[in-house]
Structure formats: structure tokens, C-alpha cells
Structure 1
Amino acid sequence: MFEFEPALPHGLPIAADGYGNIWVVDLHPGTARWGPIYFACHDAPVNLYQAGSPVQFLDELFRMFEPPHQSLIDDVHEDRLAHVWQTNPGVLSYEQCLRSEDPILSAFARELDESFQIIDLRCAKPGDGFSWGRYGPKTQIKRFRTHAVFAYQKPKSIISRLLGRAPG
């Protein structure tokens, strides 16, 4: 299994790029259902949605080898990870999710505190994702059950750490 327990606890690697980055199927425990495929990258430290199914992933893989050699796999691998790392798109605040009418977002927010930022990838397109290492290699990552909804924790300020207060 893939070792990234907080985000993909049942992830199964299916391909690698030769640079330490892999594509992972998000398996759902207790079912025969396979979830989407994510591109798990360490440089930049991001997790990107690649395809909705292994069939879609293979279709894009084969497109890479047919003229004009354009594929969403290459787009995600080469271009979109920099966008996610640099701009951090789609981040929702704890407060937004807590007040949300979406029962998944509001339930997840109730399990967190204001130090978390949330990313909803339930309707993701190839290249959408989150920067799991945004605040360093020890950034705390959480996932809401088997939903493609993730959160990562902003670090406490030095003053908050000294005074023992939660981050704001």
C-alpha cells in the first residue's frame, strides 16, 4: 500500500514517473469499488486529481503514445502541479465550511478547528488538488471519511505557541 495515511489511507500505487512521484488509486475499504486516481508528488508537495477511474487513466496513458502525444497525464505531471503549489486554488476556510449548507463540509469542519484549511475535491477535474506540504513536511493532513474532502493545518504563530493559544 501507499504510505500517506492521512490523505489516502488505502491508496494503491499503479504507476511511477521515475522521480519518486506516483499515481495512486484511492481504494474504498470493504467494497469492490475503486475511487479516483491521484498523482502524489513530493516536489512540489501536492496531491492532484488525475482521473475518475482506472479506465480513464489508461485512456490518457495510451494517448501519450499516439500523435499528437497530448494527454491529461502529461498536463497534470508537467504543468498543473506548479499551479496548485503556487496559487493554492479552491481553499475553503474553517468558517466557510462550518457555516456551509453542504452536510459533508459542515460535518468535517465540526471535527476540526479554525487552524485548518479545507479542500473539496468531490467534483475535481484533472489537475485540481491540494498542497499537502504547504506549511512544511510535518503539516497535519486530515480527510473526511472516504469523501474527497481534505484539510491541512496552518502552523501556529510564534506568539500563539508561546502563549499556548490556537492559531487564528
Structure 2
Amino acid sequence: MGAAVGEWFLGRARGREDLRVELVDLVDYAFPARFPEEPTDEMCRFAGAIERAEGFAVVTPEYNWGYPASLKQAVDYAYDEWHAKPVGFVSYGHGACGQLAAAGLRLVFNELRSVTVRNCVAVDLTGPLGGPALERAAEALLDELVWWGLALREAKARRPYVG
């Protein structure tokens, strides 16, 4: 379902004139099974993609009330690159619609000195993908990411981030 949810949200983001969108899909990276002593080329390529971006919408499933280990591993391959950038969440699952995974990720991204935004998109896999409520949620999330992205860009231009 991740590909379907991701493509749906990507379509919403690409439809906006105030965004330039780049997809960073973990399936496109050959990460090592364990954190190596020295970063691999794939880890550096991923960190470079994070560095280039000014904000993020993280698409995550919920497994056993949490986020997948593969996502946490990838997030950990960057550090400074996440600082002072807005992060929003598009979650999916049954029951809680992935919101418990997103709540756990908020803690992770707060420690990475990112700004997690309030608005989110929570997709219930028992229903259809899309519809007016999800469209409104996607627009609200994107509006907030744009606002924080511009605010943080301006702030960093005036004064380097201290973190």
C-alpha cells in the first residue's frame, strides 16, 4: 500500500505551483544491513538528498503501533541534514490509520532538530484512497510545510542555525 499512498500524495504535491517536489524512495537505496564504521556511497547519496530539500512529507505505514525499522535506519543515515527543516507525516494503516507511527516519528525528528508540523494525513486502509476529507488534509499539510519551509529559509538566511 505504501506505493499507492505515496503516489496519491505525490500527485497532490506536484499539483501545486509553490512546490518543487523530489521523491526520495527508500526502495531506490541499497543501504547496509548494519550501521557501518564509515558511510557507504548509498548513505551519502541519501544524506545529499536530505540536504538539498527544504522540507519533507514522510510517508509511513504503522506496524504493531510503530514505524518500520527500515525507515528509522534511513532517517539515522542523515543528521545535520535534517536540522531546521519542516517535517510532516502521511501515515496509513488500520485502526489508528498510522497515526501512532507518526507520533513516534515526531519524537525522532524533534531530536534531529527538525520542526514537525501539526497537520497530517492519516489514511485508513479499510476505506478508499482519496476523497474530500483526505484531499483537505493533504492541502493543509502542504500549506503548513510551505509556510514553515519559507519561514525557516528566511531565518537561516538572516542567521545561521545554531544546532
- Shorter-chain TM-score bucket reads under 0.3
- Which has the larger strand fraction? 1
More helix by share: 2
Quick check: which has more Rg, 1 or 2?
Answer: 1
**Greater relative contact order (Cα 8 A, min sep 6): structure 1 or 2?**
2
**TM-score computed with the length of structure 1 as normaliser:** 0.26
